[in-house]
Structures are given as C-alpha cells and as structure tokens.
Structure 1
C-alpha cells in the first residue's frame, strides 16, 4: 500500500499587527485543509504577526499576545490536520523568528531561524537572535525539515536537515518582490534540491506592507529540480500537494502550474497590489491626486483606478497661467478614459495673493525658482485640503528619476501619503504606460483599452512652472539621466566607471551632485512600492549631511 501525505499550502496575505485577523485566516485555511483530507496545513513565515514587523516585534506585549494567539489556534484546531505557521518565540529571554508546529491541540515543535538576513530591506539581526539549526519534526508518516526563508538561501541548513533525517524540506517565506526575484528564488531552491536530493516546498506570502510587496510565487520541486507545482504570483491561493513514498523516497505529485508573468506585468501588478493593500491596511478607501496632463500623474491615476476602482479615484487639475491648453485637454481625456472624477481648481488667485504678500520682502530680486516652487506648493496645499476635507489619501506622482535628482518640490508636488512610482525611472514610466494601454487583466479594476492618451506619452515632459518649460531645460535627456542613475544608484558605480562606458564626465558629476544634495528631500518623501533591489528608503540609506564627492 502506497503511503501518502497531503500538504495544504496557504499562500495568503496577513496584515502586520492584526493578530486576530491573521489567526482567523489561518483557521479558515485549516478548515479547507481538513475538508480536503490534508495531513498538514502550511502557512508562511511570521504569519501570525504579519511581516515585516520591524521594531513592533520588540514590544513585549505584542510578542506575548502573538504567542497566546498561536496557542489558542492550536486549541481551536485540535481535531484535524497539523498546522505549520510562522510567529515569534521568546525562549530564555531571547526572541526568535520561529515556525510553530501545532497538532492535537498543542505546540509539538518550534523551529528557530538560523540565518538572519541583514541586507537590503532586512534588519533581522536588530530584532531577533540567531539560533542553532533545528532538527526535523514528524507529522504523520513523514519527517519534515524547515529552513526558514533566509536559511534556504544558504546550503548548510538544508544539508544539516537532510543529514539528520528530513525526508522533505518545507521552506516558509516572507520574501518581498523585486524585478527578477522569481528566477532568483527558483535557481536557489533548485540548488538546495540538488544538494540534498530531497523534495522542497517553497511557500511565500502575498500582499503589500509599506514599501514592500510579497508576491507569492510558491512552488514545489522534486529531486533533480523538476517543478511539480507552481502557485500564482501576487494572488492569495490555497492548494493541496500530495507526496507519495516510493523506493527512492518521497515525491510530490504534479499539481497546479500557473505561469509567472513577465517583468512589465509583474512590476505593474506590484504597483497596483502595493497601493491597494497600503490603502486597505491603513484604513483608506479613496484616493486623490493632482492630474497635470503629464505622463507621471496619468500613470498614477491608472494604477489607482486599477487598485481601487475608478469611482474611488478623485483627480484634480490645478492650472496656473503657464498651464497649456493641451495639458488641460490631456488631463480631461485621461480622466474620462479611466472613468475617474476630475475637478479643476485654478491656482492663479492664490498665486497672486502669495506674490502680493511677499512683494515688499522680495522687492529688488529677480523672479526664479522660488516663484516656480510657490506654484507647486500651492498645489500641494490645495490637494492636502481636498484630502483632509473628503478623506481620500493624497497620492504623490514623482518618478525615481525626479526623486533621485531632486527635480521635485518638497512640501509641494512631493506631498502625499504614498507614491506608486517612487522606484520607477522615467524611461520605464513611458514604457509602462504603453504596456497598460495594450494589456488588461482580470485583477485590474480600471477599464480596458487605451486609458493614457498617446500625446501624454509622446509630448516632451514639462513641469509648466514658467513659459515654454521642458524637463530637458534642467536635466539631461531621460535616456542619459536614467542610465547614469542606474549606475550611481542601482550599481554603486564610480564616476570613472561611467565615463569608461562613454558618458560625459561633466554630466555624470552634475548628476552625482544632484543625487547627493537631494537626500534631505528623499528623507521626507512618501513611501512607495519597491520594484528593484536599490529602492530609495531601506535599500539605499545615505547620510543627508555628506561632503564626499567621487574624484575619479
């Protein structure tokens, strides 16, 4: 008689701090596992608390309540499949990132994380204590080894578990998205399978948390690296995988195999999911944004419509004397295409009032960037007033190129609670608009078809703060600027490295200067979805007061 082990995988979306809500999601998934005749339900890393908790996990009462919720979950789910669920464990006064095994109404095992990531967006050494490698545990007929997330990115934990009797590897994760991450994970997990000869279950959470979005993409690999099951990217999902024991050990039977989207779709989906979860998890239902007739605000409007529904997106055009007629037309067409409300609030009167109030003080000076910034700040004031009055979250619309070099006005167009484009360079903004116009998916709440007018994408970008202004009056062409920024920011290249690639040294030095002097703006900027391993905030942390300049 063939021995079978059924494992239910819960690729789900927890909320940081919502212990009761996360526990209820676990109970519902356990009920599905029980109905399916499963032997065990597996949930992701730190599921009971949500992830990442940052310093919230240092609050002792939070840890105590999380542990109490896990013990209650064990009691509530005593009659049926075992549960594997991530959560904190305080042992001997030391706080661990742990994986709790619940069975028969009790906690039967706790696996403690050995490798604590301390790079990129992770600061686990700040809040957790690393533990020795835990051995495998038994559930029914099978011995399971559990490397927790980072533990599976190194060979030693999996090899130790295989040597101490593990028959399959179950890897619970809180692994956030960045461009190219699914292929990176797959290659690493194949390495663990080849090294140990064991089947491997890679289980990741989904959902947005501040700047990070967890993209699921859970999978099951058989020995040799054969893909037995592939869960969807970004979607919450519960599925079951059967392991059969044969002469060569345990093997997973084939299950669902969902195609992982290409990068352009994955990036856009990350923007949409991150915004929708940020809004929902902070209690907002509606968004407001300034729709200028330009490409950045048009893309943010599309993302917001897809995330929240067009009826929940309030666009506002705030023209000045320098706003072109085609910008007014383009903003109107964009809002109509998306089905969003658009109001027009001219700032000319407010601008004149501020000019009059400052006239005596400014007498004898030449108009310049100060007066330009007043326009942007007046727009920020009005948008924040609309946000306050009607309760919608203000979205800011600056792309990564602008945020990098400070081509944005602090307390002006930088105002807002979230920025969906914060990690998207301008050249990618153009291409993402084209992608959205050509593609529609069931998860998009906005309409299909061309939602961003072609002229919005093709016309020269302009802040329209003075007559006949274009971005290229102040910045290198975006193709050049973005390539230099990718070198300086994403790859930490030297000036000499970029000059060797063919860039003009004076241009590189100018971009480097703008990058460094704009740090104070980024320090005060709204959070935004992380799309790359070098997003501004947790990935890249530079001092504000900094006199270093690359002399190479």
Structure 2
C-alpha cells in the first residue's frame, strides 16, 4: 500500500514516486504495489484532463512505468485513459513489462468538490483481474461508496477488493469512509484494501488514513493520516476465504488536530507546488493573524514566515505588544511599517473630491487597502507568498475589505468559523507534534484569545458594533451556509428574525467578494468555492417565517 503525495501535472515526478514504491515492494517480496486514484497526474486535475496532449503524456508515462517494472511485483496506478469511446478515470494494472488491465470508473461523483460527469465517460463495470492466483476486484473510489460495483465484482469471482482513492478531507470524513467500506465488506463477504492519496492540492487536502478490512468488517491495518507511508499487508487463504494478516493500527487524531494538520499541510503543499518557499502576512495583534502566523511557522519553519505590523492612528499599544509577542514566541522575523504617512497623503489627495462629505466606511477601508498595497509590494520585491487571514465568519458576511485585507495568495483559515478559531488557538497552545516546524508551548498569548475582536479602523471599534456576538453569528451561519436551512428554521432554533435576515442579506451581497478571494483550506463539506456555488447578481431572499 503506497499512501503518497502526488503533484498535479508533475507526471515524471509522480511516476518516479511510483517507481520508488515499486522498488520497495520488490525488496519486500510483495506481489503487488497499490497506488491511489489518478496518481500519475495528481488529483484533482479538473479541466486539465480535457487537453488531449496532457492525457497522451500521462498514458505514455504509465506505459514507460510498465516497461520499467517488468521484473517484479505488479503495480496498480490511477491515471486517465482515452480511446475512441471517450475519456475515463482509470486504474492501470502493470505486470510483466506491459499494461495488463485497465479498470474504468463506473460511478462518477458529481457533488461537493467533484464534477466528474463533465470530464469523464461512465464505463461498464469491469471484472476482476489476476495477480498471481488471486482474483482482485477494483472499484475506483466512488464505485465503492455504492453497493452495485463491489457486489458485481464479488459475483464475478473477485476474492478481495482493492479500492484506490482520491478522497479529500472534510471534518468527520474518516467515519463516513469507514462506514461505507464496512458496508461493502459485510455485503460481499470479501476483505478490502482502501488506499487514499495524501497531500494538499489548491483548497483540498487528501488526508490518507488508508486501511484494510477483513470479512465482517474487522480492521486489520490502518495507516496514519496526512503522512506519506508504505505498508506491507499479507493475505492468507483460510477455510473462510482470504484474510488480511493483522498489522499496525495507526492512531487517528481528534477533530481539532485533524483540522489543524490539514491547514498546515495544505499551506505547505500549496507553497511547495506553486514554487514559493517563504510567506508574508500582516500581524495585527488579533487572533486571526496570530493563528495564521502559527500555521505558517508550523508549515514552513518560523524563519520563513515574515510578519509585518502596519499600525495606524487607531492601533492600540496593546495590539502592537500582542503582535510582537506572537512573532517572538514563534521566532519569526518581524518588521513595523506604519501607514500613518501614506494614509495622510491619500486623505489629502481625496480631500477636494470628498469635500463636504463626512468620514465613513470609505476612510476605514483606505487603511486596509494601504496595508494590502504595502504587503503586496513586499511580496513582489522579496518573493514571499502573501497570506490572508479572514476566518469563515468574516468571509461569509463580507466583514473584510476587498483589495485590502483580502489581498493575498492563500488563506489557511478560510473555512474556519471564528468560534472554532478560538478553539484551535487553545488547542495549539496546549499541543505540539513532531510534524510542526514551529516551537512548542504557548505561542498565542491567552490575552489575544480572550480580548474583544476589533478591526481597529476607527476609535474604540469592536466587531460586535457591526455583527452579532460570534457564537450567535456562527450559529446562524452554520444553519444558513453549511446546512442550507431556511430563515424559518433559524427562527425555530431560537435566533431573532431581524438578526437572521441581516446575516442572510450580508451573505448574499458578499458573494462578489468571495468570488475574488484567495483559495484556502477546505475543512468542511460546505466550504466557499467548489462546495457552495452561488450567483453574484441575485435578488432572491427567503421570506419564510
């Protein structure tokens, strides 16, 4: 079982990883090495797979792999397949120097982040194939989430099910996967090997967590989440059929650690796969920029995280001290770049045109946009990736300035509601793991976590001047955004109608901002971008009561 991290479009690099895994399998005396779905191309390729030259290159890479793996175990590897009948999400079985079998995906997912029906043809159900004397059935990812394909394979003589996956992380996803796979094992009476990809690709994170189930649903082996690893599993023929020998059972972390590691891995891989090695962010003294700086330090190393304080006349001394405390605790370089001078210059430039009009949100946003300008200038000059720091609560209601604090290339907390940001900060202060490149201990001062959130764009400003308290806001957002609940449902849950309608209005009018926002780590099944796609120009409102 090869639980590895592919890079979309790096055909030669992905094939080299596959060959290295095959070599390890050969040394171990294995009969087959199994890699994830679409591994040779990386996943998801989206419309890249519609380019004929790309698909030809991928198929040629698999043919070369087959020739390189002539003397040794068979290899199962995912990749695209195109012939006169169409384009398919396929799984290749390589043996004896050639492509022995091509399995084509039957059930194409078309929900959440998946849009495979517009990319691929649905194929007839493939039959089992032989590796040695063992008859193997391979339902590809979604094929195993439904009973039809595994049952057809069992009826046609499969003795074991090998399921290659490109299954992205969402909170609680491991339990869902396990429930589906146990159901397939119980229905067919066959053991099952589930191999998942690992690594970040744009907003999605593939979390690994591969496993082996025996007939009846008993867990025989499990691999760590979020880590590259190889594992050897032996199958033994018993009076009750084939059984997997017992192996190591990895510890799967709790939901807070899974979310945090997903954000670290997604940022690390996004940087690596787009060619960046250092990050930059504005450190305000607030909780959001503090946790983003910490995630970046754990992903890249503190020395590669460049923090900048950009104080204005409204920035409190406490905020400056809090921002400095985070950078110091992380060991990250910190610079101070006041915006008071540029702000005065912009104010003077606009004064003749704004004459006679009172100061309002415009002047507040100028501060944010000046910060965005200065940070992007540093990004351009020094080649750092600028990180944005808006949480899901702010992203949902547009409590962010477009072309200001929304400027940047990636946002690891984009799918993390504000109340969960508090929880994640407390979790990180109390826990350290060997995959974290930042220091252990309290890195976010409890004062930052406990103080009232504020954008500090005017005197004595607090977030609750414009928004309901975050527990109320997040409760409403969870219903309206994640659960697609009605206004009436929210009222029935105990929220005030006026507040619910205000939040609903803010969600809809902020769609244009989200359309232009940086990508960020997907942590839930209803993240903004591919999971939730709404029109920008939209006059409908829910009038249910």
Match of 1:4 in 2: none
Distance across 2 between alignment mates of 1:500 and 1:82? 58
**Deviation at 1:270?**
0.2
Q: Please point out which of 137, 162, 174 is paired with 1:182.
A: 174
SS of the residue aligned with 1:356? helix
Match of 1:57 in 2: 49
Distance across 2 between alignment mates of 1:392 and 1:429? 25
Match of 1:70 in 2: 62
Alignment map for 1:81-96 (pairs within 5 Å): 81-96=73-88
**Deviation at 1:249?**
1.1
Alignment map for 1:470-509 (pairs within 5 Å): 470-509=462-501
Alignment map for 1:270-289 (pairs within 5 Å): 270-289=262-281
Match of 1:358 in 2: 350
Distance across 1 between alignment mates of 2:324 and 2:32? 54
Distance across 2 between alignment mates of 1:196 and 1:91? 32
User: Are positions 1:210 and 2:202 aligned together?
Assistant: yes
Distance across 1 between alignment mates of 2:325 and 2:39? 43
Match of 1:536 in 2: 528
Match of 1:422 in 2: 414
User: Are positions 1:376 and 2:376 aligned together?
Assistant: no
Match of 1:447 in 2: 439
Match of 1:342 in 2: 334
Distance across 1 between alignment mates of 2:486 and 2:503? 12
Match of 1:115 in 2: 107
Distance across 2 between alignment mates of 1:141 and 1:12? 27
Match of 2:380 in 1: 388
Match of 2:423 in 1: 431
What is the TM-score of this pair, normalised by structure 2?
1.00
Match of 1:316 in 2: 308
**Deviation at 1:93?**
4.1
SS of the residue aligned with 1:64? helix
4+ residue segments displaced more than 3 Å: none
Aligned residues: 544
**Deviation at 1:91?**
2.2
SS of the residue aligned with 1:166? coil
User: Are positions 1:413 and 2:413 aligned together?
Assistant: no
Q: Deviations over 1:116-152 (max 9, x none)?
A: 0000000001110000100000000200000000000
Distance across 2 between alignment mates of 1:303 and 1:475? 27
Distance across 1 between alignment mates of 2:463 and 2:118? 42
Q: Deviations over 1:65-98 (max 9, x none)?
A: 0000000000011000000000001122400000
Q: Please point out which of 243, 249, 262 is paired with 1:257.
A: 249
Match of 1:459 in 2: 451
**Deviation at 1:323?**
0.1
Distance across 1 between alignment mates of 2:388 and 2:181? 38
Distance across 2 between alignment mates of 1:303 and 1:166? 45
User: Are positions 1:225 and 2:217 aligned together?
Assistant: yes
Distance across 2 between alignment mates of 1:248 and 1:551? 60
Distance across 2 between alignment mates of 1:259 and 1:49? 30
Q: Please point out which of 101, 107, 121 is paired with 1:129.
A: 121
Match of 1:545 in 2: 537
For structure 1, the 5+ residue unaligned runs are 1-8
Match of 1:166 in 2: 158
| Alignment root-mean-square deviation, CA | 0.4
SS of the residue aligned with 1:469? coil
Distance across 1 between alignment mates of 2:488 and 2:370? 41
Distance across 2 between alignment mates of 1:122 and 1:220? 25
Q: Deviations over 1:290-346 (max 9, x none)?
A: 000000000000000000000000000000000000000000000000000010000
Q: Please point out which of 508, 519, 525 is paired with 2:511.
A: 519
User: Are positions 1:191 and 2:183 aligned together?
Assistant: yes
Distance across 2 between alignment mates of 1:126 and 1:208? 23
Match of 1:36 in 2: 28
Distance across 2 between alignment mates of 1:45 and 1:420? 25
Match of 1:157 in 2: 149
Distance across 1 between alignment mates of 2:238 and 2:101? 27
Distance across 2 between alignment mates of 1:225 and 1:472? 50
Distance across 2 between alignment mates of 1:246 and 1:306? 47
User: Are positions 1:331 and 2:323 aligned together?
Assistant: yes
SS of the residue aligned with 1:241? coil
Distance across 2 between alignment mates of 1:262 and 1:454? 22
